[in-house]
């Protein structure tokens, strides 16, 4: 286990989790604001993604399963990524199954991840990037104390915002 909150456990992904996560990845409503919006994943492709992204599990970062404490249901994933080749500045990302949205789990897991990054990894800055039309993630970022520091466009012209939170004040 990486960390726990009042209602959630965040832990490393296990092979037995793949079918649950695959179900989440194959729902358009869950994936419309994630990268290219792909929602036709196979077991082999998702395993390859996790194998690639989770090379730094031993350093405490990667993609982790979000599990309900009450019944061990996988409700999504949350991750910390070394997008800047600098472990003092990490990127946060998450996917929560649509069945579990609007219940406060996003706020709970993101605040837990911010604490984990600061206390366990000594991360100084957390960055989150999201499409400008992803109003729920914008609100969540602001609720968790992040500030918008800019916007840009993807290669295919979609506008995204960049939010940042300084965990260590210098």
Q: What is the mean pLDDT of the chain?
A: 95
Q: Which class is 3-128 in CATH?
A: alpha beta
Q: What is the DSSP pairing of strand 147-153 with strand 89-96?
A: unpaired
Walk across the sheet containing 147-153 and list its strands.
3-4, 8-12, 62-68, 74-81, 89-96, 125-131, 159-166, 147-153
Q: Is residue 35 left, alpha or beta, with left meaning phi > 0 and alpha meaning psi from -120 to 50?
A: left
d(CA 8, CA 94): 14
pTM for the whole structure: 0.94
pLDDT at 170: 62
Tens digit of pLDDT for each residue in 1-20?
899 999 999 999 999 999 99
Alpha helix stretches (DSSP H) within 32-75: 43-53
Tens digit of pLDDT for each residue in 11-67?
999 999 999 999 999 999 999 998 777 788 999 999 999 999 999 999 999 999 999
pLDDT at 136: 95
Residue 169: pLDDT band (50, 70, 90) is confident
Taken as a whole, the chain contains a residue count of: 170
pLDDT at 78: 98
Residue 162: pLDDT band (50, 70, 90) is very high
d(CA 17, CA 65): 8
pLDDT at 35: 77
CA 8 to chain centre: 14
Over residues 116-120, mean pLDDT? 96
pLDDT at 160: 95
């Amino acid at each position: 286990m990486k960390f726990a909150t009042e209602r959630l456990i965040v832990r490393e992904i296990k092979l037995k989790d793949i079918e649950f996560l695959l179900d989440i990845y194959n729902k358009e409503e869950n994936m419309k604001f994630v990268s290219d919006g792909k929602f036709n994943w196979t077991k082999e492709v998702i395993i390859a993604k996790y194998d690639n992204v989770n090379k730094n599990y031993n350093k405490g970062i990667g993609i982790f399963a979000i599990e309900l404490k009450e019944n061990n249901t996988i409700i999504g994933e949350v991750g910390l990524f070394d997008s800047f080749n600098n472990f003092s500045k990490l990127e946060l990302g998450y996917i929560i199954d649509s069945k579990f949205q609007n219940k406060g789990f996003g706020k709970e897991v993101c605040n837990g991840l911010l604490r984990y990054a600061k206390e366990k990894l000594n991360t100084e800055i957390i960055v989150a990037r999201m499409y400008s039309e992803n109003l729920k993630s914008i609100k969540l970022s602001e609720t968790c104390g992040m500030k918008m520091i800019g916007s840009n466009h993807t290669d295919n012209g979609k506008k995204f915002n960049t939010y940042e939170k300084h965990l260590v004040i210098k």
